[in-house]
């Protein structure tokens, strides 16, 4: 009976260890995907960019904070405060812009079970060295073979001239 118990315990430990290693490998791959996203913006590399999305119609949905939305509604009363796009349009706009653009990531949280994952973080987006917006962003991902692919992106939008960026000290360094 003791031998059976030890065998079961040993099996559980080995399986738990290998699951932990696989989960760690997935998190490393997901961190590399974040780097790919970041570098694709900096380098305006559309081919590299497209490889990290499930397909070219992956939804990008941005919701403006109430303060930012109202800053626009002053001049455009019908404005809804929602930006709906696709990764294809996002990539096209990035790559066609003459301006240097960058997205910075803060407080990244990665959660995965090995088949699906979420990555959430705070972000700031800049063009020509000027911050355009900041907010919170979340990606849903699936693992296809050995690759992680983004299936959708949601994010909040805050304009820095309307709402103070909470990571201002980090951004100045």
62: CATH: 3.10.450.50
Structure tokens given for 170: 């980090």
pLDDT at 11: 56
- Domain range enclosing 55: 2-172
Which one-letter DSSP state was computed for residue 167? T
How many structural domains are present in the chain? 1
> CB of 166 within 8 A of CB of 76?
no
Output phi, psi for 154, to 5 deg: -125, 145
Which of these ranges, 4-18, 19-33, 95-109, 137-151, has the smallest mean pLDDT?
A: 4-18
Does pLDDT of 14 surpass 70? no
pLDDT at 23: 65
The pLDDT mean for the chain works out to: 89
pLDDT at 37: 97
Give the number of C-alpha atoms closer than 13 A to the C-alpha of residue 76, restricted to the C-beta side.
8
Across the range 56-70, mean pLDDT stands at 96
Helix (H) / strand (E) element for 73: namely helix 66-73
């Amino acid at each position: 009976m003791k031998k059976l118990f030890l065998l079961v315990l040993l099996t559980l430990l080995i399986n738990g260890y290998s699951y932990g290693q696989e989960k760690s490998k997935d998190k490393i791959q997901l961190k590399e995907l974040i780097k790919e996203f970041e570098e694709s913006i900096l380098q305006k590399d559309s081919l590299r960019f497209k490889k990290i999305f499930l397909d070219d119609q992956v939804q990008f949905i941005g919701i403006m904070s109430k303060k930012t939305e109202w800053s626009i509604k002053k001049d455009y009363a019908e404005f809804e405060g929602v930006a709906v796009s696709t990764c294809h349009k996002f990539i096209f706009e990035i790559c066609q812009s003459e301006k240097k653009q960058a997205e910075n990531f803060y407080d990244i949280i990665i959660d995965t079970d090995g088949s699906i994952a979420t990555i959430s973080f705070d972000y700031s987006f800049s063009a020509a060295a000027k911050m355009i917006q900041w907010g919170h962003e979340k990606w849903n991902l699936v693992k296809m073979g050995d690759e992680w692919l983004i299936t959708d992106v949601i994010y909040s939008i805050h304009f820095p001239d309307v709402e103070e960026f909470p990571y201002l000290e980090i951004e100045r360094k």
